[in-house]
Structure formats: structure tokens, C-alpha cells
Structure 1
Amino acid sequence: MLRPPRVRVITLVALTALCASLAVVFTTATANAAALALTQYVNPFIGTDDSNAPNPVGGGAGGSTVPGPIQPFGMVQLSPDTPTASPSGYRFGDTQIEEFSLTHFNGAGCANNEDLGILPITGAIGASPGTSWTSYRATQDKTQEQARPGFYQSVLSNYGNTKVEATATKRTAAMRLTYPSSTTARVLVNTSRSATGNRSGSIAISGSTVTGSVTGGGFCGSSKTYQIFYRMEFDRAPSAVGTWLGGTVTAGSTSTSGTNSGGYLTFDTSTNRVVQVKVAISFVSQAGAQANLAGEQSGFAFDTVRGNADAEWNTYLNRVQATGGSAADLQKFYTALYRVFINPNLSNDVNGQYRGFDNVVRTASHPVYQNYSGWDIYRSWSALIAFIAPVEAADIAKSMVLDGQQGGLLPKWSHNTSEIFVMTGDPGPIIVDSLYQFGVRDFDTAAALALMDKSSNGGTAQGSPIRGRQATYTQHHYIENDPSDSLEYSASDFAVAQFARSLGDTAKYNTYMARAQWWRNVFNTESNYVHPRNADGTWPWPLNPASQSNFVEGNASQYTWMVPYNFAGLINLMGGRQTAVQRLDHHFTQTNGGQSQPYFYIGNEPEHGVPWAYHFAAAPAGTSNTVRRVMNESFTTGPGGLPGNDDLGATSAWFVWSAMGMYPPTPGADTIALHGPLFPSVFVDRPSGDIQINGTNAGQGNQYVQSLSVNGTATQRTWLRYGDIAGGATLSYTMTGSPTSWGTDPANVPPSFNDGATPPPTAPDLGTNLAAGKPASGSASCATAEGPDKAFDGKLGSTSKWCSTAAGTKYLQVDLGSNQTVRSFVVKHAGLGGETTAWNTGGFGIETSTDATTWTSRVTVSGNRSSRTYHPITAVTARYVRLAVTTPANDGNGAARIDEFEVYGSAGSGPTNLALGRPATADSQCSTTEGPEKAVNGSTSAGNSDKWCSLGTTKFLRVDLGASHAIQSFTVRHAGAGGESTAWNTRDFDLQVSADGTTWTTVVQARGNTANSSDHPVSASGRYVRLNIVTPTQNTDQAARVYELEVYGT
């Protein structure tokens, strides 16, 4: 048993001083380490006011946390409510308190709870509190406000400096009220008011006991309600009582019920200024509330309850002992860890009774929990709670399965006993699977899988489907004009697949793993982003990567990274690791950019795992640097110290993982990415085996991993599976202040999951960018900060591009320094830098020269809309390369914008055209000179017959590559590329791959194409490729015309 630490009350002022002066150094923790006094580091005021996030989600400006007392996973969350505090109930900047209520969410984004308001006052009862409640607001002395785990204090200056102290047990709360000497010291009890309006309640006063019920609900606009029964006991009988109903106050009345109802108790504090009150709640019955109060508070022993609460919190916090860091970092860490343990909340009473999702009262022998913000907590909270609190995690899994068995499906976003259906996707399966993958096994796994399968096939919860758009998802393999929901469905399908495989259900595994790859259907290889898509397969154009249109609380720039189970496939579609790293660097220009900028937004959950995308691009130093930046820039020790809603512990879980130097990057898998700890020592106390994390030189300024050993063996691998450390482990890092080569071998990246049988093929290496940092010149720039050099600086972004509005053709030239072998070019246009894709270069040519005088054309492009274009050529010798922009944009804008112009040559294993000269067949041909072989002959310039042409009913072109290859991209050269009318460019077509020429997989669905040449990055493999023509031209002409089908890979 752990000894309760010395009680230490902390005010915000004291916390500030603590951070500045505390110099506590602990020795490295070892197995069975002694308990540390850790509640001293928790600052419940962090996150209680707005952060500096620009354009946050609605209700998401601050952490929406509350400072009042609660025990881990407690049913009761007693906290003050202030006037401008929606959605949480409390805002640090407010100086008035409207009441102290018993229910709150930690960090939800909608107004919620605040049930059963209690307000100490002095003086006469004037206007009815039923209609004029806010006229009784208390003004508090902010200098005397205090909070720590399990304790809160405020002084109400307009009520004779009445001091309110509060503490809590799991199902009850206690208040010690110290009034001035008065005959009119009162306690108001509001049984109708809540954060979402007034509803019916009841009160009955009998001596020193108050009982009744309140009705709450309305969370996030829901019509669903719930009932809470309460029992309140005072340490002495009141001198007078009364009730109110609506606008009528009835002195002497002991009971009332209805909307806008409540009551008051008056105490004579002339000789004894202290009034103590304890209160319990139950979701089952009045008897349950009485049993809870009797079972958790004996008598009136405020200091004992407070001390027990502190001890309980200290026990939980000691599950992770972080030592050796700065006081500020320890405060941020332990406040985050504290918040991880607040939700979900106990549902059953001390006798085991609880109200189920079918509104039936049942009894369970284990703790039953409620309140899951599924969309928020599935990304990292669920794995963390399994990792550090496996016993509680098992009860959470049991509770979610019970919810599903009683209500129909695993909960999505549940509030008490109701499914509220807030947010998108189907997160319940991901939460349960993540718990399983991180070691939780003690629950009905077969029932859980059945519930997952039911939800994924249109099942309902409390009468409504969680996957409301499942029909269109299975019809199109994406959800039209809602890529956010589509990605969420695929993420859930991945988790169902992993869970099924763990249980040995191969059939379900194969079904859901295939569905998981449907994310590809909302990645537009033209815009190079996750992109809204119409029902007919076309893509609305142009795309503004920073626009929230058709996205849920985010934009295309942010949601593009939400493929955590197949980052390798995503990176390949982007064009490879180098491009992915450039895009990540640009994305992290800001760490809390809000919804309407093309930057990272830590204040909302969809991007929580994005810093670890660097790991999958073999650039773990990028993760280490970015994580530390986010921790320092977006988390502070002040009231605005959280970057956005804590969302029932989701944001805090991110910080805890980050500080420990590890993170679960793939929700639903057992992968742990490693990036190095913030602290010199982190000890995780786990029943199955302790984990010791050592960080030599760890601390601020040393965020990079120099070396790592696991259980004494050095490793360059940047990840582990949970099973590698489940029985205990020691991870020993040496940290340093500069990026290192640790973990940069592509063989050491974490696993991605493709079709389940094989990992995604690796994108071919283009080699070294010969143009990087070389002398550049060009046509007159739009601004001095947008000169030619910006196109060769290795960076993306609207502030790191070449821009020119010069008349006529606009030139951008680079001197490679000496003659080089040149094999390909990559042009990165405006869209890749976060600007509208309407500004992607429409037409351009690329020329080479050995002397800067005589130029040879190598590439000609017209009708381009792509954000990234790849241009392989037959190897040539050149010192100078020139980009000639003929059509600056595809919307008529006159400015040329080039984010990067890259030249590749002798180094690397660049992709080759695998289709060149290979055997080709087709459904038909227009004439004997327009056969399928013409589409793989490497030529577009031998006249109008240098093409494959077909007038068949079903038009297809098939190429045998001779053996299975990893395929990186396709290039299709249409009629315009051969000099024919652009009206004959293929409009709609599919590209497919096959291992055997019989079973085909569609990897590209191109709709609405107008370009002369279209590029289509993929991550695929196969021996056979097939081009299926859906709509052959832009008009009514029915002839398909393809000058070249190029297949690039290795």
C-alpha cells in the first residue's frame, strides 16, 4: 500500500512559483520503486481557458477542462460553473460562479451536464431562483482560488467571503462551507438547471437530509435525456427551509417538483460558521444514491475524504514515474496523466446495479463505465489506458460490449446510457481492438467481434445506425463528397480486420482488410490530396487544401495524412519519401493551425498521429523535433495551456505518450513508434512487467535519438510491437541536440498494412536531386521573397516558391555546376505547397543544355492540373536545365508558381517504363496501323497513327510486363499528346493490375480528365496492367485514342 503524501495545496500563483523555483532531482526508478509525491505536480487549472489556436472547431478554443474534485473514473465530478464557460462549465477568466454542480465532462466540445447545482449564499431570498437564478451569482476572490487532485476551494466575496471547499469519492462529493457569522447563511439547490437548459426535477427536505432527482440531457443538440437520483445530507438541521417552482418561492415548503424547481436550506452560523454537506448520486434509484453515500462517506470527515482522494490520485499517478525533468515539464506531464484517468465514468452503484443501454437495471460484479467520446479517444487514449491501467481497461472493454449487447452496437459517442451519434465514423471497434492489441484479453471477444461485424453491415444502436452512410460506402467504395467519413469507415474496417485475425477468423479478416484499402478511392492522384469525390467518380475542381468544405473539423491538407495503417502506401502515392518529408515539413509550419490553414492542428484529433508519419518516411528525427515543438509551443502551464478540447483525455493522452518517447501510430494495431523521452527516467508500473525508459542527456534541447538499446541490445529500429515489451523491458536512449542518422534506413520503418498479405511495395529511389541548392535564375519574380532560388531550396509552401508574372513565357533555369547525367524531372506545383490546385501550372516545357546557349526540348506538357508531375526521359547529358511556363495556371491566373523543380540523374534506382516494348493486346483497333503495340512503343511523334485506337463496345488495353513488378505510377498520353484535338483526350478510365491476368484490382479511377498527359501515382504490384476506357472523349466521339501507356516501377 502506498502512503498518502503530505498534502500540499496549490493555487495558480503558487504553481507559477513552483515552476520557476522547484529543483527536485529523483534517482532513476527501478522495479518496485517507492511511491513518489506526484499530486503536487498536477495543475487542474491548465486548459480551463482559451488557447491561441486560430479558427478552432466550434467550442474548441480551449481545453474545456474543469478544476473541481473528482476521483479516477468517478461518477461525480463536482466543479464550479461560471457564466461564459460553455461547453465545460468553468472558465478561469470568469470572476463569478453560478453554482457548483455534480456532473461534468473533461474537455468535451458541446455544452454538457452541470446537473444538480448547489450555491452557498448569504442574505434574503428575493426573486425566485427558478426564474432569476443568475441574479444570485457569486463573485469569487481569484487570489484565494485553489485546486489540486481531489480538492477545490474558492471564496465568495459578495457573500461575506464564504469559503467553499470541495472534495470527492468515486460516487459522492463533500463540501465544507465556512460562512460569516450570520442568521441567513443558505444553500440553494437547483434541481432543474443544467448546461443545456431547464428540465423537470424534484426535491424533498426532511430535517438535515435532501433527496430527489434531476433530469439532464441535450448533449450536442440531442433530444435524449437521463435521470439522476441524489441524496444530500448536512451535518446539522437547518433553521429554515423553502422551495421554489417557476417564479414562486414558498417559504417553509419541504418539497416540490417540475421545471424550474429547487429548494433552499437556511443555517444560523452565528456561533458555528461551518456547514458540511455530503451528496451522492445514482443513475438507478434513490436507494442507490443512499447506498452510495453510506458506502463511501461515514459521518462528516471532510479532511479524511480529501486525504483519501489525494492518496488515490497519487496511487494512479505513480503508475508512470517520470523523474529528472524540469518542474514545468513535470507539471504538464502529470496534469495530462491526471486527465487521462478522469473518463469514462463509473455507472454502477456500490451494490453493482447500473442502468443499461436498454434502460433496464442490471447488476454487474465488475465496475461498469459510461461516457465515451469515441472519435476522440480511439487514436491514442485507448492504447494508453490499456498500457498503464490494464485492469480498468478490461472493465472498459466489458462495459462497451455490454452497451452493445443492450443497445445494439458498440458505442460511438455515448452520454450516460444513450448513444448520441456525435461525430463521424465507427470508432467503437477501434477502441476495443486497440485495448486488445495492447494486452487486454479479459472480456467477451467473440461478442465484441459480432458487434463489430454487425455495425459494419448496417446494424443499429438504439434504433439508428452508427454507420449512417454504409450503403453508399459499400456501393462506391467511398462516401461521396465526404472523405472524412470515408476515411473513418476504412480505419474502423482495419481495426475489425485486425481483431478478426487475432481471433482466428480469416474470412472476416480478408473482408475487412480489403475494405480498409478503400482509402485510396478518396486520394486524388491529380491534386495529390485526400479529396472530396462525387458519386459519379469525378472530383470537384479546384481543390483548396485549406478549405473546410466537405471535411469534418479539418481540411484536405490535414485529412490527407489520416491513413495511419498504410502510411507506406500513402507516401508512395505522394511520390516517395523525399516528397512526403517536404510536405510534412511544410505542414508543421504551425503546430496548432486551426481548421482553415494547410498546417498541423494538434487542437483536434484527426492529426494527432501525423508527427509519426516521419517515421514511415525513414526520417525519425523529423518526428522527434516536431513532437518536442508541439509539446513546447502548444502545451503550457497556464489556463490556456491546452491547444484545444481535451476531449475526455484524448489530448492529454497525446502528451503522455509523447513525453514517454513512444506513441501508437496505427490505431487498432500493436505498433509502438519510438522517438525518445522528455525525461531522464520514466518508470511504468505494470502488472505483467515493468517498463523502464532511460534517457541519457534527455531534456529540453536534446530531442533527437543518438542511440537506443532494448534490453541491452542496440537497435536502429524505430518501432516495437506491444508484445516485445508486454512482459517488461528496459529501453535505454542516448539523446542529443542535433539530428542523427539513427533509424534512417528504410528497413527500420514501422509496418504498414496493405492487403494484409504483403506490405506495400517501396517507392523507387530517384536518387539525388542534382538541382538542390544550385544557382538559379528566371523571369522577373512576383516579389523579392519569391525568387528563382526558392524553387531549389527543398521546401514547399506559399512562402517558399518561385513566382513570376512576367509577360509571355516565363523561364526558370538552374545550373547543375557541371555536366551531369539527367534521367528525370519532378515539378511541384502550387497545390503541393498548400495553395489552390487552380494555380497548378497548366502548360510548360523542360529543356536541357550543356552550354546555356543551345537548348533541347525534353518534355512538353499541356492541360496539366496535377500538383506534382514526374517526367522520366531517356538519359541525357546536361549542365543547365530550364523550365518554360507557357500556361501559368489552369484557371486563367497569370502568375507562374513553382514550389520545387527537381532534376534527377546518375544516382539512385529510378523507376523505368516497365511497359515499353512489352506484349500488348486490346479489345479491338480502329485500323491495322493503330494496334495496341503502338501504345507501348515509346513514341508519340510519328503521326496520328502512332497510337492505339478502338471503337469497340468494351474498350481496353492490356500489357504483360513479363514478371511481377512493384508499380509506382502510370502515365497515359492521350490524343492531345500526339497532336490531335484535345476534345479527344480520354475523359474517364480505370487502371487495373493483376498477378495472373484473370483477377484484376482497380488502382486508379480517373474521372473528368482533360489533360493531354495524365500521371497516376500508385502503390501496387502485378505482372499485368489493363487500361479500361469508360468515356473515350470529351464529346460524343466514341473512339478511344491512347498514344502511350507508361508503367513506372521496379
Structure 2
Amino acid sequence: MVLRFYWTRMFLVLLVGVGGIGAVIYAIALLLNLGSVTPGLQTSADNDYTKYVDPFLGTENGGNMFPGVVAAPFSMVKLGPDLTNGNADAYSGYLPEGQIWGFSIMHESGTGGAPKYGVVSQMPVLGDVPNPLIDLSQNRSVSDSAKVGYYKSSLVSGIDIEVSATEHAGYYQYTFPSGSSSSVVVDVSHVLPSFRGLGWGQGYAGGYFGISDDGSAYEGYGVYNGGWNLAPNWTIFFCGHFDQAPMSSKTFIGEGTTIHSYGDNLSTNTTYRHGGVFSFSQSKVASRVGISFISSAQACQNIASEIPPNTSIQTLVSRAQTRWNQQVFSRVTTSETNLTILTQLYTYLYGMMLIPTNRTGENPLWTSNEPYYDDIFTFWDLFRCGTALMHVLQPSAYEEQIRSLIDIWRHEGWLPDARSSDYTGRTQGGSNADNVLADAFVKGVRGMVNWLDGFNAMKTNAEIVPPNNFDAIADDSSTRQGRGALSDWKDYGWITPAFTRAVTRAVEYAVNDFSLYQVASGLGFFADADRYLIRSRNWRNHWNPAQTSFNSSGYLVPRDANGTFVCGRCYWAEPYYEDTPWSYSFNAQHDIYHLIALSGGREAFIERLETFFTPNLTRKNAAYGHTLFDPANEPAFNTPYLFNFVGRQDLSVKYSRSIAMNFYNTGRGGIPGNSDAGSMQSWILWNMIGLYPMTGQTTFLVGSPWFKYLRIALGDGKTLTITSRGGNRNSAYYVQSLKVNGRSWDKAWVTWEDVFAHGGTLDFVLGDEPALWATGTLPPSPASDESPSVFW
């Protein structure tokens, strides 16, 4: 304390000499602020932010989050439990209730549609196993526990299972009841099932399983298909080691629950179920398992290099926590002391970086010097704000992901809108990888990205009709890649009900074409730019001014080839995908001022927006009553912030903060429905930061920050520092004034260049009543013919 006072006094003396009394006052304020800062503000690698991460956040209420072990951002291995509970789909393997029937090495997180993976599994049981093909599932004796890098389950049989992992290998540690024999079953046919009845389930198509001479090791592969992306056969290789020789080890081959062969040391390559049973007398047994998409030899190399013999589980847990701290959590630091808010902040950061999967060096399809990422779920979900936040928080990985997308186009001919198990699919609306590329381009991502190839990849989507993959649930055109309804878009300037999801596709194709305009303009391809700008306005052709709802007129509706407007409902086979005409009618994010004009002008647009969030209307939400707004679906992500375009930034703050407070929390249902690979997490994180991105543009709409102090490391020594004073998170959150990089600011928007390209500062003054501070230029609407001045 004496030493600190001495240096404080010397600091003030120096400031008096160089800056006068103003500098002294500033220094005092700075020192007082530093006195209240928690260790979380420091960027030392020694700080453990993982203590704020709850892996179970979002595992209930349809969030589908994976609570198992992910050793680093974008790791290939995701090791955790697989549960069964009646006919409930376990999308990430986990269910809050039910029986464990295996611990498998591959999972996805926050995905919907149907489960994917759940392969390369082990299941411990007591005693001998006369038939490993029967149901060996067990209930848990207590609730599972987890932290970053670690997961534990305790079964009613008295078996404890603890797991950890690296990027390409997993570690199992079993504790069996003393004095009893035990077994570990490896079932190559193990895969997460689906009970939805949509034909999206996974299948097992055969494999191979062999055991070493001493019985302590095994290797092989499995072939699988299906899942939410309707993938054909794909293969994963594995290599496993136990830390001791078993009492016995034997392979099995069977069909259903019938054993055909049991006891050989080699399981041949057939479509029958394959696997092995390893029996032990010791109460402690450990197992190391590596995987690879290339070969069993590479799987063995992965385990040898990442989890060598005698590695302890504590070492792996510590290594995983260090990786997450250094690569993710220490990049976002705050003076916040509220444990609830810190748990939200760091758990949401964790949840948005579990997928995609970095498979560089594990691509079985082609040889390339480019990075390779898989498990993209999906750009339809992510393009609005998820990929923009990935750019801010992980710029190096983000550039790799952009390069990977372009390289997939080079070798397969199309950009993926979704991808898993090395197979592209499915496209839900537009070719929204176009938006992701455009967003990276306008924000200056260059590095090793070949943007000429990138633009040509986007032109493939814009000009070539993809071959129909005859998806059973929407067989009118391709759901695998590209723009299946492109022929209508080019022939009519709108999409007819001959194609499913007609309105969704139309508004998204318009945004996609605007993305091509942005990149073409930047590359100097001005004829292309003009053509795609004009096409980006075709969403207007779906606007029916005579369509009315809740005292508002004009909505996006389906349109026949003869120009007649018709009506429709929502989902795969309907004109609106996973949302309503109300929501999609706000979605032309590049052409907002024309949307305002069609809606009847400024006041009518404000009334329409407020109606969208009004309780007791038609869509049921627990916190909002019945409203038109659905926080669990991405098409409405932008909508709370559109008030900024009509000079009512206070209403953007009011509604976006209300959504954040009512639908997000630290519970197991802490996100409003399916995470969609971190989409929900990215929305709430932008809300915490106090900005919202307009994808494909350099514009960020200003909201209101949650923190007194928040610092984001942007890479290359750059930082964005956000401060606020005078308010509180729950009520006094209205912006009273804003300074950007020390200068007074009167606009309800900033650009990438203002605060991200070179770093910057945002200093807010907040209060409990709305204030008319944003009196300057309104946000740009680059595809609009109208000037915003016509609304005033």
C-alpha cells in the first residue's frame, strides 16, 4: 500500500509538470477507476476466465448446446455424453434427462434440423458383456458436472466417467467400483439417431475394427451418412489405446441385436455392426483415442503427438483452459464484478466458437495449401451478426475461414451455405455465403485471400442454376447449394410459388446481389456492380401495398408468374421460411429508406416497428406475451435496431435491451431457443458491446453498452475500448451523449474505419430517460434511391 501511494504521488507530480491541473484531475479519475477494476480487466495469460464459463448454459429450452469437452476454439474433437430419452432428438448428444449410452468423440453444438455425428464411442459397463449389441445405457446417479476442458458423469452402476481432449484426440478416465470386474465397449455403429420422421436421420454403412496383439489398442474406421445436411457416405478413422493390458479383448460383428461373431481379433469390412469389448480387473482405467479423416495411421499420429502415454487428465484440462484463455477470453476484458454478467459474457463467447471446425490437414477430398473448415451451420443463421463478430474477435481464424470457403468453390464449384462431414448442404434461403464474403471484403480483409476467385465464386451463385438434389421436403430445386430459384429471379425479377420459400429466397437473393455489388465495386468491375445493384432492388417486386395487418399496409407476399399477389405460410415448403410476413418485410437491410417509403414514411414506419414488439398480438413468447417478434429466429435479429434509421435511437435501445433482459440469462435455458451454432450468442454479445453490424456494409448501428469498461483486443496491437457512465444495466440505459475517439458524436452509427480498422474508443453517457442526442446524419442505406431527408 505504501509503495502504491508513492508511485501515485510521483505520477501526479509528473502530470502537474507536463499537463497542468486538468491532467491531474484526469489522473485521479483514472487511478480511482483502476482501484475498482477486477482481475478480469488485466490481460495477463495467468488470469483464468474459464471460471465464468458454464458449459450447460443453453443446453435446455431447445438451445442444443454441447456441454462436453472442446479443447480449443474450432477443435475437431468434441468429446461428451450421448443420451437417450424416449423419442427426443439429442442434437448435440446431450439431454437433461435420460440415460447415457456412450461417450463419443465427434459432436456439433447448437444445431437443429436433426442430430449429426455421435461417432467413435466408448461405453463402460460392470462385469462381462455377453452381448455388446443390446441396450447398455444407464441412468446417472447425480447430475453431470463440467468446466472448460473437463466433463464428468456418474452412473447408477457406480462407474465414474471423466473426459478431456485435445484438438484431434480424446481422453477417457474410468473409475469402477473396487472389487468388481468391468468392461469398455467400443461400438463402431454408434451414431446419434433422429426421431423427427423427416428422413434426416443418420445411418451406419459399415466399417472395420481391429485389436492389437496385446489387446490394449485398437484401430479402424466407420462409414456414416445422413444428418441435417443429407450427406452421402463419409468415413472417420480412429486409433485407441488403453493404459493397461486388459484381462481379455475381443471383437464382435452383428446385425441389430444379434451377434454373428464374437471373439475374433479382427472385424471384417461389412455393413454389419462392428466393435470390441475390453475387460479389466483394475478400478482405474484410462483410454486415449485419436481420430482422422485421412487414415488410421494419422489418427494414431494425432494421439501420439497430442496425448502421449502417461499424460494426466489434469494436464489436458489445464492445457484446454490455457488455450481458451489466451485465444478467446483474454481478448475481451472488463471492469465488471457482477458474476451473473461475467458468466453471460464469457459463456456466450465460448458458445459462439465451438463450430465451425478447423479441419486443416484433415481434408480427405483434395490436397491444398489453403485452410479447410467444416461444420458450418449455417450462414443463413450466421450472416446477420455472427460472422461479423467472428471477424472482430478472431481475425486470423476469420481470414482462414474466408479462404476455406473460396477453396471449396475451387474444388467443388459452389460456395457452401452449410457444410458438415465434408459435404455441402443445406441452403435454406439465399446464397448467404455471398454476404459473408462481401462483409469481409468491405471491412478490408485481404491477407492471403484471392478476391478475384472470391468474386467469381459469388458470380457462380448469382448466374448459374444449381442442379436439383431433389430434397424430399422441398424437391422443386436445389437445397444443397447456390440459388435454386434463380431462374425466376432472372426471368421475372421475383420468385413465384412454383418454388418453395419464395419470399424468403427473394428478399435474401436481393441482399446476396447487393453483396455482389459491393465486391464488384471494390474490384473495379463497374458493369457488374450496376447490374447487381439493380437486381438487389427486386425484393420490391414482392411488396403488395394492399396487404394489411394490425393497421399497417404493405407487406412482402408471394407473387405468381402473371404478377398476381397470393398468400402463404412458413417452413420448408411454404413461402416464408421459419418466420412471418411481418418479419421478412423488414429484411431488405441494404434498402431501408425505400422500405420506409413503402411503409408510409417515418411515423408509419415507427408505428409498424413498435407494433412488431407489442405484447398480446399473435406470436406466443413467455416474456413478451403474444407478439409478432420472435427472438429465436434470425430474420428478426436486425429489427430492433431499425429505429436508428428514423432518428429514434432511444427506441432501438429500449427494445433491444428489453429482448436481452427477457430472453437471455445464465440458466440452462439461457438463450431463446436453438443456438444455431452461436448465432444467438453473437446477437446478445453485440447487445452487450452496444453496437450492431449491418452485414455487407461498414455500418454499425449504435445501441447501448452493458459495461462501465470493456476492452476488445482486435489483433496487431489494436483495441476497441468502450466506457459508460451515469447509467445502469437494467433501467438507466438510454444514451445521453457519445464520444468516438475522443470527439463528440451526433450520429447513431459508426463505421468499421471509425473504431475497428485501427482501434478506437466509444465513451457513452447513459441515463434513465431518452435524450435527443443523435441529431446528425442518419445511417446510410446504399441501395436506396431516397434520401432520408424526405422523411423529415
Q: TM-score, normalised by structure 1?
A: 0.65
Secondary structure at 1:611 match in 2? helix
Q: Please point out which of 625, 631, 639 is paired with 2:654.
A: 625
Residue of structure 1 equivalent to 2:363: 354
**2:102 matches 1:99:** yes
Determine the C-alpha separation between the residues in 1 that align with 2:130 and 2:356: 40
Secondary structure at 2:512 match in 1? helix
Please list, as runs of the form range in 1=range in 2, the aligned pairs for 1:278-317 lying within 5 A after superposition: 278-301=288-311, 302-315=313-326, 316-317=328-329
Determine the C-alpha separation between the residues in 2 that align with 1:764 and 1:268: 78
Secondary structure at 1:329 match in 2? helix
Determine the C-alpha separation between the residues in 2 that align with 1:764 and 1:635: 35
The 1:742/1:34 distance shift into structure 2, 3 A limit, reads farther
Q: Is the 8 A contact 2:161 2:175 kept in 1?
A: yes
**2:635 matches 1:606:** yes
Secondary structure at 1:686 match in 2? strand
Cα distance, 1:544 vs structure 2: 8.5
Residue of structure 1 equivalent to 2:25: none
Q: Please point out which of 768, 773, 792 is paired with 1:742.
A: 773
Residue of structure 1 equivalent to 2:560: 534
Q: Is the 8 A contact 2:613 2:627 kept in 1?
A: no
Determine the C-alpha separation between the residues in 2 that align with 1:139 and 1:326: 36
Instruction: Give the residue type in structure 2 aligned to 1:139.
Output: N
The 1:751/1:373 distance shift into structure 2, 3 A limit, reads same
Secondary structure at 1:194 match in 2? coil
Cα distance, 1:115 vs structure 2: 1.4
Instruction: Give the residue type in structure 1 aligned to 2:494.
Output: Y
Q: Which structure is higher in RCO with an 8 Å CA cutoff and minimum separation 6? A: 2
1:614-655 deviation per Cα after TM superposition (whole angstroms, max 9, x unaligned)? 111211111111121111111122222211111111111111
The 1:422/1:240 distance shift into structure 2, 3 A limit, reads farther
Please list, as runs of the form range in 1=range in 2, the aligned pairs for 1:802-813 lying within 5 A after superposition: none
The 1:638/1:370 distance shift into structure 2, 3 A limit, reads closer
Q: Is the 8 A contact 1:149 1:310 kept in 2?
A: yes
Secondary structure at 1:399 match in 2? helix
Residue of structure 2 equivalent to 1:82: 83
Determine the C-alpha separation between the residues in 2 that align with 1:427 and 1:732: 34
Cα distance, 1:147 vs structure 2: 1.1
Cα distance, 1:748 vs structure 2: 3.2
The 1:453/1:378 distance shift into structure 2, 3 A limit, reads same
Q: Is the 8 A contact 2:250 2:276 kept in 1?
A: yes
The 1:242/1:598 distance shift into structure 2, 3 A limit, reads same
Determine the C-alpha separation between the residues in 2 that align with 1:432 and 1:753: 18
Cα distance, 1:437 vs structure 2: 2.9
Point out the structure with max Rg over C-alpha. 1
Q: Is the 8 A contact 2:39 2:47 kept in 1?
A: no
Secondary structure at 1:682 match in 2? strand
Q: Is the 8 A contact 2:602 2:791 kept in 1?
A: no
The 1:600/1:25 distance shift into structure 2, 3 A limit, reads farther
Cα distance, 1:729 vs structure 2: 0.5
The 1:408/1:461 distance shift into structure 2, 3 A limit, reads farther
Q: Is the 8 A contact 1:548 1:554 kept in 2?
A: no
Determine the C-alpha separation between the residues in 2 that align with 1:764 and 1:401: 41
Residue of structure 2 equivalent to 1:707: 737
1:391-422 deviation per Cα after TM superposition (whole angstroms, max 9, x unaligned)? 00011011111111011011111113111234
**2:412 matches 1:383:** no
Residue of structure 1 equivalent to 2:246: 238
Instruction: Give the residue type in structure 1 aligned to 2:124.
Output: P
Secondary structure at 1:498 match in 2? helix
Q: Is the 8 A contact 1:684 1:692 kept in 2?
A: yes
Determine the C-alpha separation between the residues in 2 that align with 1:420 and 1:182: 51
Determine the C-alpha separation between the residues in 1 that align with 2:121 and 2:376: 21
Residue of structure 2 equivalent to 1:154: 153
Q: Is the 8 A contact 1:438 1:670 kept in 2?
A: yes
Instruction: Give the residue type in structure 2 aligned to 1:80.
Output: P
Q: TM-score, normalised by structure 2?
A: 0.85
Residue of structure 2 equivalent to 1:139: 139
More strand by proportion, 1 or 2?
1
Instruction: Give the residue type in structure 2 aligned to 1:205.
Output: I
Cα distance, 1:182 vs structure 2: 4.5
Residue of structure 2 equivalent to 1:404: 409
Cα distance, 1:33 vs structure 2: 6.5
Q: Is the 8 A contact 2:740 2:760 kept in 1?
A: yes
Q: Is the 8 A contact 1:155 1:164 kept in 2?
A: yes
Q: Is the 8 A contact 1:80 1:101 kept in 2?
A: yes
Residue of structure 1 equivalent to 2:230: 222
Cα distance, 1:435 vs structure 2: 2.3
1:748-781 deviation per Cα after TM superposition (whole angstroms, max 9, x unaligned)? 32111225xx65454444xxxxxxxxxxxxxxxx
Please list, as runs of the form range in 1=range in 2, the aligned pairs for 1:185-584 lying within 5 A after superposition: 185-195=182-192, 196-206=202-212, 207-220=215-228, 222-244=230-252, 245-246=254-255, 247-248=258-259, 250-256=261-267, 257-269=269-281, 272-301=282-311, 302-315=313-326, 316-324=328-336, 326-348=338-360, 352-355=361-364, 359-360=365-366, 362-364=367-369, 366=371, 368-442=373-447, 443-458=449-464, 460=466, 466-481=482-497, 482-527=502-547, 528-540=554-566, 549-584=574-609
1:833-853 deviation per Cα after TM superposition (whole angstroms, max 9, x unaligned)? xxxxxxxxxxxxxxxxxxxxx
- Structure 1: runs of 5+ lacking an equivalent: 1-23, 51-61, 766-1050
The 1:439/1:190 distance shift into structure 2, 3 A limit, reads farther
Determine the C-alpha separation between the residues in 1 that align with 2:48 and 2:41: 16
Secondary structure at 1:121 match in 2? strand
Determine the C-alpha separation between the residues in 1 that align with 2:632 and 2:673: 4
Residue of structure 2 equivalent to 1:727: 758
Cα distance, 1:364 vs structure 2: 2.8
More helix by proportion, 1 or 2?
2
Secondary structure at 1:43 match in 2? coil
Q: Is the 8 A contact 2:701 2:749 kept in 1?
A: yes
- Structure 2: runs of 5+ lacking an equivalent: 1-34, 193-201, 470-477, 548-553
Determine the C-alpha separation between the residues in 2 that align with 1:156 and 1:694: 48
The 1:47/1:273 distance shift into structure 2, 3 A limit, reads same
Q: Is the 8 A contact 2:466 2:484 kept in 1?
A: no
Cα distance, 1:265 vs structure 2: 3.4
Q: Is the 8 A contact 1:242 1:249 kept in 2?
A: no
The 1:33/1:566 distance shift into structure 2, 3 A limit, reads farther
1:917-940 deviation per Cα after TM superposition (whole angstroms, max 9, x unaligned)? xxxxxxxxxxxxxxxxxxxxxxxx
Instruction: Give the residue type in structure 2 aligned to 1:685.
Output: A
Residue of structure 2 equivalent to 1:971: none
The 1:163/1:627 distance shift into structure 2, 3 A limit, reads same
1:649-690 deviation per Cα after TM superposition (whole angstroms, max 9, x unaligned)? 1111111111111110x2211111111211111110122411
Determine the C-alpha separation between the residues in 2 that align with 1:37 and 1:327: 14
Q: What is the RMSD of the two structures over their aligned residues, measured on CA atoms?
A: 2.6
Instruction: Give the residue type in structure 2 aligned to 1:49.
Output: E
The count of aligned residue pairs is 709
Q: Percent identity?
A: 26
The 1:590/1:420 distance shift into structure 2, 3 A limit, reads farther
Determine the C-alpha separation between the residues in 1 that align with 2:527 and 2:666: 50
**2:55 matches 1:44:** yes
Determine the C-alpha separation between the residues in 2 that align with 1:544 and 1:485: 14
The 1:72/1:228 distance shift into structure 2, 3 A limit, reads same
1:560-619 deviation per Cα after TM superposition (whole angstroms, max 9, x unaligned)? 111111222111211122222222212113599469976111211111111111111211
Q: Is the 8 A contact 2:111 2:675 kept in 1?
A: yes
Q: Is the 8 A contact 2:92 2:109 kept in 1?
A: no
Residue of structure 1 equivalent to 2:18: none
Secondary structure at 2:628 match in 1? coil
